[in-house]
A = this chain, B = another copy of it.
């Protein structure tokens, strides 16, 4: 019940100093004599002072809030990214206001308005719902992750290299036909690079390949059904041939693997599988899945690094507006496990 309502005024009264001096104790202690510092320190303990940052925000305009908009936390990629972003608190001290948007532009706009109303200093978004041009107009530092990023700063995995790595690995294991399954990704989304990387390696090496750009469904059941149909298709089209399949992510790669396992009790010699992300499912699969790993922790840290420097710039007397968005590319790491030779 004795809600701690001790303020600078109380401390000032208690110590005989002014509120200003108390404020200085917190923000520039060296400007006080050691003796007086001690007096105030003692008073803080005696009165059981708890800081109130709201007053500081109002007076200084600095909230130390960063907004995060994330499509969902269902996919491990997103939850782990959030995990890593939250972990940067130790390094940068920014607090995170988190919204999980569900890809509806009007909803996300509402979230952003709300975040802005709390004077967030920066925004990190993993959602591609709102065009970067619109985000840039909000006039707050923004960093996008794995989304269209023409007008905002961003951090992305080197998707092209990921596609190259996957195709190269499949090439090495002497597949007769390389297959890449993915959805039909717009060119301005970073993930599109995977397809290009895969195709380029195939073309350069004159490897037979097939690109299957199709939507695998929104539920697990749909995934299962459509991937099962794909297996039928492969069996029919390439009987007896060694098929190297690069799936769009580990979740789908796992479904693919399970279907083969259920049919054959093992991974047939005629299949090689590689996923994308290095999410937990890739290690927890019946047979550990080979995958192109994203360096989530590195991405999260780079994002905060870019954001914090832009936020710092704004605090200067004469902030120099960013002329060009910064785009950082993080290399993926090929992880060879048991579904490739």
The answer on a CB contact under 8 Å between B86 and A79 is no
Q: Mark A1-34, 1 if CB is under 8 A from B, else 0.
A: 1111000000000000000000000000000000
Q: Does A82 contact B (CB under 8 A)?
A: yes
Beta-carbon nearest neighbor of A281 in chain B: B284
Q: Does A92 contact B (CB under 8 A)?
A: no
The answer on a CB contact under 8 Å between B86 and A98 is yes
Q: Does A215 contact B (CB under 8 A)?
A: no
Shortest Cβ gap from A158 to chain B (Å) = 24
Q: Does A55 contact B (CB under 8 A)?
A: yes
| Chain B residues, Cβ within 8 Å of A98 | 86, 96, 98
In the complex, which of the residues B51, B54, B74, B82 contacts A57, with contact meaning CB atoms closer than 8 Å? Answer: B54
Cα(A266)–Cα(B261), bound, Å: 9
Beta-carbon nearest neighbor of A78 in chain B: B79
The answer on a CB contact under 8 Å between A87 and B100 is yes
The answer on a CB contact under 8 Å between B63 and A74 is no
Q: Does A196 contact B (CB under 8 A)?
A: no
The answer on a CB contact under 8 Å between B89 and A79 is no
The answer on a CB contact under 8 Å between A97 and B96 is yes
In the complex, which of the residues B82, B96, B99, B118 contacts A73, with contact meaning CB atoms closer than 8 Å? Answer: B82
| Chain B residues, Cβ within 8 Å of A265 | 265-266
Q: Does A206 contact B (CB under 8 A)?
A: no
Shortest Cβ gap from A124 to chain B (Å) = 13
Q: Which residues of A contact B (CB under 8 A)?
A: 1-4, 50-55, 57-58, 63, 72-74, 76, 79-80, 82-83, 86-87, 89, 95-100, 113-114, 116-119, 139, 220, 251, 254-255, 258, 261-262, 265-266, 280-281, 283-287, 321
The answer on a CB contact under 8 Å between B63 and A72 is no
In the complex, which of the residues B1, B72, B286 contacts A286, with contact meaning CB atoms closer than 8 Å? Answer: B286
Given contacts A54-B58, A119-B52, A119-B54, contact A254 B284 (CB under 8 A): yes
9 contacts between A and B (CB under 8 A): A54-B57, A73-B82, A74-B83, A79-B79, A79-B82, A86-B99, A89-B99, A254-B284, A258-B285
Contacts A2-B139, A258-B284 aside, 15 further interface pairs with beta carbons under 8 A come to: A1-B321, A52-B119, A73-B79, A73-B80, A74-B79, A74-B83, A83-B100, A86-B98, A87-B100, A89-B99, A98-B98, A251-B284, A254-B284, A262-B287, A286-B286
| Chain B residues, Cβ within 8 Å of A117 | 50-53
Beta-carbon nearest neighbor of A59 in chain B: B58
| Chain B residues, Cβ within 8 Å of A96 | 97-98
| Chain B residues, Cβ within 8 Å of A321 | 1
| Chain B residues, Cβ within 8 Å of A63 | 54
| Chain B residues, Cβ within 8 Å of A119 | 52-54
The answer on a CB contact under 8 Å between A286 and B262 is yes
Cα(A4)–Cα(B139), bound, Å: 9
Shortest Cβ gap from A30 to chain B (Å) = 23
Shortest Cβ gap from A104 to chain B (Å) = 11
Shortest Cβ gap from A119 to chain B (Å) = 6
Beta-carbon nearest neighbor of A319 in chain B: B1
The answer on a CB contact under 8 Å between A55 and B52 is no
